[in-house]
Every structure is written in C-alpha cells, then in structure tokens.
C-alpha cells in the first residue's frame, strides 16, 4: 500500500510473498518506546534500520486513523478483561488497555482489509464483506446525545456520531467507556455478506469505510481463510473456487458461529465476574443501563466494570440511563448477577 502524507491510499496491490521475521516484539515495550515512556526495545536496537521503519509505520498509522475519523469512523472505548487468579482465588478482572503499538497493527489491518476487498472487485471476484449496517436504534442514540445537550441529525450519520463521541470523551471522560458500550449495543452486530459483481454490499458504519473484508487472520478466523483462497485464485488466474450460493451459505454460517462464540465468551466472563462479586451481596453501586429488551434489562457498574441483570425496578429504563442498584443475588455456575434498583 502506498500512502501520501495525509494517510490517503494512492495505490495498492496483492501478491504472494515469503515473510522472514527478524525480531519478535512485544506490544507493551514497543508502545512504551513509541509513546516516549520507555527505552527502545533491545530487539529493535539490534537490527539496523528497524527503529526508523517502525517510526515511519507509526506515523502512517496515525495518519490513517485521523483520516478515517474525518470520514466518520467511531472512536469507541470498550473493555476486554482477563481473569487474574491467586492460587484458586479470582483476585481481579484485568482490563487490557489499547496502546500505540496495538493501534499501529489495527490501523494497518483495516487498510489491508480494504485493499483486499478492492483487489478482488477489480478482478471481478466476489468477496465476503464484513458489514455493520446503519443502526436501527438511531432515535435512542439521538436521545443519549440530547442528555449531553448535543444535537444529532434525524438520519443516521457516522460523522455526527463521531463528533458526539469526541464531545463525551472530552467533557465526561469518566463515563466515556460506558457511553461507548451503550452506543456499540445500539449500533447492532456486524455480519458477513457476499459482495458479487454487479451488486453493492453495505459498508461498515463504525469504521466509516465502504469496502471492507476480513483477510488478515486466516489462522484463527474462517472468513479470512475463505478470502485467502479467493485471493490465491485471483492472483494465479484460476477460476473462482466457490459458487455464489456456496459463499452466501458460508457468510450466513460464519455470522451464526460468530454469534455463538460471543455467547460462550459472555458466559465465561459472567461466571468470572460473579466469582469476583460473590462477597459483595447487599452493596450498592452506580450503574448505567447497557441493554433493554423483552428478554430483560441489563446494567453495567461503573466500578468495577461488571454487567448484570436488573430484576427489580426496571420499568421505563432505556439504554444509557444512569441509576443506583443493589447487588441482590449471585449464581456462579449460571453466571447470574442480579440487581435491584434503589430509589
């Protein structure tokens, strides 16, 4: 991919190549160096020219992010927590924070996925596109913004939503992550669809990009493996390895399986959080409504960042509403964390 000074893609190509790793780097130490809070990693220092190369990549990655945000990419802050045990006791859920090195990889992967999608289209090949459609619950997002005296247009617009999120981050940083989670849930889940010659697949609302596939992780994600097979055929001049019907079945199957994986991940996280809170039954917490449907109302605590079900006092509450809640019941095996509203 060839970029200009402002991060715009000038041209790109896809080809087969052998990759040789000269250094094994770690996110944390590399990020500390890039952010100016730590020394240059020894592995980087050993190899002539590597530090300059990484600095250039870091500069380009930041330009890519800035350009996407100008187009309306959403800067959301969510939590990925891992359980930390001391012997057999769960002591905490450690939140994995983003850093400059992780952002570098993320920004280049987004750019590579877009280039891959356009390459396949240029070869008249279909592709599995990763899409996040225009949010169905935009009116609720408008209500959330109005709570901050921020006006959003009646028609869903990613640029306006991006500006709203920046406003919240600047003016209420303590609750920005909770607002991010509320907006993320209202945006809805992503899905896989087939982009074929003569059709136009929906884009990715959250990333503010039109052409987007998944291609960078064929070792752990099946849609990427399908994309790699399509790429190999397109590069070598071989026929398309799948029929349109097969690709549509694969797209639907991958979406369903991804949803199933997320349910398992949520279940494990719920049980871990239940273990963490089992000694705090009866305590009161500040919280925000993170989900509301016919199946129930869920809240997320501000501290610690744990989600549970509001089993009493949920009438009239909507996603994004703030409240006080008392921990009422825990079931570790089922992953149940039940609260009742105070006041």
Q: What is the pLDDT of residue 312?
A: 94
**pLDDT tens digit sequence for 45-82:** 999 999 999 999 999 999 999 999 998 999 888 777 77
Range in 80-89, 205-214, 279-288 with the lowest mean pLDDT = 80-89
**Whose structure tokens read 């089993």?**
311
Single pTM value for the model: 0.84
As a whole number, mean pLDDT of residues 281-302 equals: 90
pLDDT reading at 2 higher than 90: yes
As a whole number, mean pLDDT of residues 79-98 equals: 78
Q: What is the pLDDT of residue 198?
A: 67
**Whose structure tokens read 């089992």?**
278
Instruction: Give the domains, in start order, of the chain with CATH numbers.
Output: 25-133+188-268 (no CATH), 281-343 (2.40.50.140)
Q: How confident is the model at residue 149 (pLDDT cuts 50, 70, 90)?
A: very high
**Cα 34–65–184 angle (5° rounding)?**
110
SS3 per-residue string spanning 185-204: HHHCCCEEEEECCCCCCCCE
Both tokens assigned to 19: 């990759």
Q: What is the pLDDT of residue 153?
A: 95
Both tokens assigned to 124: 């008249």
Range in 80-94, 121-135, 163-177 with the lowest mean pLDDT = 80-94
Q: How confident is the model at residue 343 (pLDDT cuts 50, 70, 90)?
A: confident
Closest CA to 201 of 140, 244, 257: 244
**What interhelical angle do 50-70 and 100-122 show, nearest 10?**
70
Q: What is the pLDDT of residue 37?
A: 96
Q: Look at strands 336-341 and 307-312 and give their pairing.
A: parallel
Range in 61-65, 77-81, 277-281, 295-299 with the lowest mean pLDDT = 77-81
Cβ–Cβ < 8 Å for 120, 234 = yes
User: Cis omega (within 30 of 0) on the bond before 12?
Assistant: no
pLDDT reading at 231 higher than 80: yes
266 or 199, greater pLDDT: 266
Closest CA to 16 of 219, 171, 237: 237
What contacts 19, CB < 8 A, 6 or more positions away?
none
- C-alpha span between 276 and 239 (Å, rounded): 54
**Whose structure tokens read 């990613």?**
158
């Amino acid at each position: 991919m060839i970029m200009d000074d402002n991060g715009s893609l000038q041209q790109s190509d896809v080809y087969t190549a052998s990759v040789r790793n000269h250094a094994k780097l770690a996110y944390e130490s590399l990020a500390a160096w890039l952010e100016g809070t730590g020394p240059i990693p020894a592995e980087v220092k050993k190899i002539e020219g590597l530090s300059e190369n990484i600095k250039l990549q870091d500069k380009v990655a930041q330009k890519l992010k800035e350009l996407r945000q100008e187009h309306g990419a959403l800067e959301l802050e969510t939590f990925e927590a891992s359980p930390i045990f001391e012997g057999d006791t769960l002591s905490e859920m450690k939140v994995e924070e983003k850093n400059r090195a992780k952002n570098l990889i993320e920004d280049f992967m987004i750019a590579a996925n877009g280039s891959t999608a356009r390459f396949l289209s240029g070869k008249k090949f279909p592709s599995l596109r990763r899409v996040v459609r225009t949010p169905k619950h935009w009116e609720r997002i408008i209500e959330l913004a109005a709570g901050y005296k921020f006006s959003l247009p009646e028609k869903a617009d990613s640029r306006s939503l991006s500006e709203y999120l920046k406003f919240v981050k600047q003016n209420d940083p303590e609750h920005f992550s909770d607002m991010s989670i509320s907006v993320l849930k209202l945006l809805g889940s992503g899905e896989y669809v087939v982009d074929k010659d003569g059709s136009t697949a929906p884009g990715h609302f959250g990333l503010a990009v039109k052409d987007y596939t998944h291609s960078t992780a064929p070792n752990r994600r099946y849609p990427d493996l399908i994309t790699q097979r399509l790429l190999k055929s397109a590069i070598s001049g071989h026929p398309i390895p799948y029929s349109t019907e097969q690709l549509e079945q694969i797209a639907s199957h991958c979406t369903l399986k991804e949803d199933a994986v997320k349910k398992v991940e949520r279940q494990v996280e719920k049980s871990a959080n239940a273990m963490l809170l089992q000694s705090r039954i009866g305590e009161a917490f500040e919280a925000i409504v993170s989900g509301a449907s016919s199946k129930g109302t869920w809240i997320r605590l501000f501290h610690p960042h744990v989600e549970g079900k509001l089993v009493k006092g949920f009438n009239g509450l909507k996603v994004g509403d703030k409240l006080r809640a008392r921990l009422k019941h825990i079931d570790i095996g089922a992953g149940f964390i039940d609260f009742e509203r105070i006041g």
